[in-house]
Amino acid sequence: MDTPAEQEPRHEPAGPDAELDAELTATVRRTGASAGAVHLLGRDPVLVMAVSFGLPSGLAAAWRRIPLGAPLPVSDAVRDEEFVWVGSQQDLARAYPRLAAALPHPLALAAAPLTGARRVWGALLLLFPADHPQRATPRERGHITGRARRLARLLDDAEHPPTLPDRPRTAPDPPAGPEPAQPPPAAADFAERLPGASLALDLEGRIAYASAGAGRLLGRTPEQLLGALPWLALPWLDDPAVEDRYRTAVISREPAAFTALRPPDTWLDFRLYPDRSGISIRVTTAHTGPDADGRTVPAHGPPPEDEHPGGRLYQLLHLAAALTEAVGVRDVVETVAEQVLPAFGADGLVLSAVDAGRLKIIGHCGYPSANIDRLDGLPLDTRLTPAGQVLATGSPAFFSDPDRMADLYPGAPQMSGKHAWAVLPLIVSGRPVGVCILSYNRSRTFSADERAVLTSLAGLLAQALDRARLYDAKHDLADDLQHALLPHSLPQVPGITVASRYLAATRGLDVGGDFYDFIRLDERTAAAVIGDVQGHNTTAAALMGQVRTAVHAHATAGAAPDEVLARTNRLLADLDPDLLVSCLYAQLDLTRRQATVASAGHPPPLLRRPNGHSHVLTVEAGPLLGAATEAVYPLTTLPLLDGTLLALYTDGLVEVPGTDASRTTAELAGLLSHSRAGTPDRLIDDLVHHSWPTGRQTDDIAVLVLDIAPGGAARYGTGRPSDRDTPTGTPRGRAPSGAG
């Protein structure tokens, strides 16, 4: 809400500030604008609104500080040192969708840089009423830029730099006196003779005149109303829709109207008539009647919420906030279906994206699937629907009844079964990205305000859809690259049942560095590898591919586990990637019934012994790969008897925010002891679900499970202890420690 002026001390500017204010007032008057403002460039760099004229104070406050890089007309004018013209609300929605969402009024605007002798001081912003021609003539452009040069010269000639106020000043015209100006007696007598109540508002929204009838209808005396804002003096008018009607009248200079309930049961009609000096308001008692529940309502019915520009504005802002949280295309489709249909009372939705010269339907609601199949993949220049036409022109199309649609597109009404349509082109920087069609089961008209808001909606959807498609493309690329660097399939080794899983972090765009491998060395020997490269980017992914290749090459060449890691470490030293890698290598020898494990700073695996007891394997680890050129990696051996199970994993499985990783690891070991999983794959499901029950892990996860037993899958879920117990993994050359 705007702050009432009487609660703020008014200080008349002096010197250069007063001259700047007077020059802005003259500029607004002589260019035919309805409002204007001067933004001055600060040091941040931020454009600070120094003074405004004709703008409601709340709207001026919302624009008081604008980053120079913001996508707004005044920012573009200063950055590019060029005149900016936006001729209509539709043009505003296409070029500046964020501004159009906050300013859904019929208008035109101009922004001109204040280019001085040695610097650009800032920008002049002018707003024009709705009846202004969409195009500015060369003479008008020259006149506006000339006024901007006058402002710049005034700033050049000032002895001191202009003031950058915390709140923008309001340029007076004429200078405001201590009391609101009263009309001449004859005019006051004329207003008093009229039925109802008469009010006059200045451009700040303050009541400058109130007839005696206002006291009878509004419940406040004229003395109580003078100088106050209506929605503050009359709390029952404290509704965003009421203030938005006022702002629409001020900015567009078009008449506006609304109906409001004065408690307890008196409905009043308000009619607003604006000009460049303020707003005249007529208030009369509305004709009423009972509704279906017996309540007293206006005879024409109270304005539904979705017919208020204010209501739609706040719905649109809510939708904009929701779209900022939409990441992929599916999120955008769900947001539009959940937010747009109820907000605009639509019964059907079709959202299409431009793909290789065709319109690919990416989401729909309220249509039979057979109809959607017929519409999917139509060429952009199709004549079956208006989608191609609105994309070609860049302007939305509104059809209030089937006859109008059938005149231009004969097959469309029969194909859709609807009776009214809003066809919105989705365009980003002049490039078509899709079409959004809202449809209705009944014929309906689209008011000018509703068309303006729907046009703004199209700009928001276009930006969101373009970002979402870019996100999905990057995500698919990252996912494809990640899976290309991991093994497509794992070899079969008799006596070992293997399962693997890779899970990318939720909503992550960057490629992770987690990797795993299972290498068949001969008929009775295999190697299991798991590791994690520091970082989440293409560099980490490329290094992961190099490490996995190096480990695979050294393993198949017959190197022992410690040598595999040592040689890979030397390779990293030569590559000098500035990234570290953790890695665990386990060689499984079924002939000797022994596993040999070497670790480069990697989390130790989980071991389930044949008797069903599980614990964290004790492994003496060497340094991370890449940390030291000449590193030694100790070996740990353990018996590899039938019924033994090893679970290798990366730290994304156990590093849960708010939980100690060692505790999570111990819990997973306990889960292995009591798991009733029927297969290694389901065992992995249990492990992941225990750590991340919501499925929204914060880091990539790789898991590799190895079950040592011929036909080992048949043993899952039996929980039968084995007579053969297995000691804890033991470092080579040392006595068994027995520690878990």
CATH number of the domain at 205, please: 3.30.450.20
Residues 471 and 359 reside in one and the same domain: yes
- The tokens of 330 are what? 């599916």
- Which phi and psi angles does 138 have, rounded to 5°? -55, -35
Q: What is the maximal distance between C-alpha atoms in the chain?
A: 115
Q: What is the mean pLDDT of each run of 10 residues along the chain (740 residues)?
A: 38 68 88 88 82 74 76 90 90 79 79 91 90 87 93 87 79 53 66 83 81 85 84 76 74 81 85 84 79 54 42 59 74 78 79 85 82 77 74 87 82 72 88 89 83 84 86 75 77 91 66 85 94 78 85 93 94 83 95 94 94 92 89 93 93 84 90 85 90 78 88 40 34 31
Residue 86: its pLDDT value, please? 93
Q: Is the dihedral of CA 671, 675, 681, 682 positive or negative?
A: negative
Q: What CATH number should be reported for the domain holding residue 356?
A: 3.30.450.40
Tell me if 241 is assigned to some domain: yes
What CA–CA distance (Å, rounded) separates 167 from 50?
8
Residues 502 and 375 reside in one and the same domain: no
Q: Which amino acid is at 203?
A: L
Among candidate residues 170, 199, 223, the one where a domain is terminated: 170
Number of domains in the chain: 4
Residues 599 and 657 reside in one and the same domain: yes
Residues 58 and 158 reside in one and the same domain: yes
Report which secondary-structure segment, H or E, holds 708. Answer: strand 701-708
Tell me if 32 is assigned to some domain: yes
- The tokens of 451 are what? 């068309």
Contacts of 5 (CB under 8 A, 6+ apart): 57, 204, 206, 227
Q: What CATH number should be reported for the domain holding residue 621?
A: 3.60.40.10
Distances (CA, A) of 112 to 37, 42, 710: 11, 17, 81
Left, alpha or beta for 356 (phi > 0: left; psi -120 to 50: alpha)?
A: left
The whole domain housing 221 covers 185-303
- The tokens of 484 are what? 């290309």
Residues 608 and 676 reside in one and the same domain: yes
Among candidate residues 267, 283, 303, the one where a domain is terminated: 303
Q: For the chain, first and last CA: distance in Å?
A: 66
> How is residue 6 annotated by DSSP?
G
Tell me if 700 is assigned to some domain: yes
What CA–CA distance (Å, rounded) separates 124 from 141?
13
Tell me if 735 is assigned to some domain: no
Residues 493 and 471 reside in one and the same domain: no
Among candidate residues 303, 324, 340, the one where a domain is terminated: 303
Tell me if 737 is assigned to some domain: no
Residue 413: its pLDDT value, please? 58
Q: Which residues, in sequence order, are bridge partners of residue 41?
A: 47
Residues 344 and 196 reside in one and the same domain: no
What CA–CA distance (Å, rounded) separates 685 from 565?
30
What CA–CA distance (Å, rounded) separates 56 from 24?
16
Contacts of 679 (CB under 8 A, 6+ apart): 499, 713, 716
Tell me if 589 is assigned to some domain: yes
Residues 540 and 665 reside in one and the same domain: yes
Tell me if 494 is assigned to some domain: yes
Contact 585, 562 (CB under 8 A): no
CA triplet 573, 577, 583: central angle to 5 degrees?
70
Tell me if 175 is assigned to some domain: no
What CA–CA distance (Å, rounded) separates 103 from 251?
9
- The tokens of 403 are what? 């006859």
Residues 137 and 218 reside in one and the same domain: no
Distance of CA 58 to the CA centre of its chain: 25
What CA–CA distance (Å, rounded) separates 239 from 260?
9
Q: Which amino acid is at 557?
A: A
Residue 709: its pLDDT value, please? 77
pTM: 0.46
> How is residue 220 annotated by DSSP?
S
Residues 533 and 641 reside in one and the same domain: yes
Residues 337 and 466 reside in one and the same domain: yes
Residues 195 and 266 reside in one and the same domain: yes
What stretches of 32-137 show up as alpha helix (H) in DSSP? 57-62, 73-80, 89-95, 97-102
Contacts of 110 (CB under 8 A, 6+ apart): 33, 73, 83, 84, 85, 86, 124, 125, 126, 128, 136, 141, 144
Contact 648, 531 (CB under 8 A): no
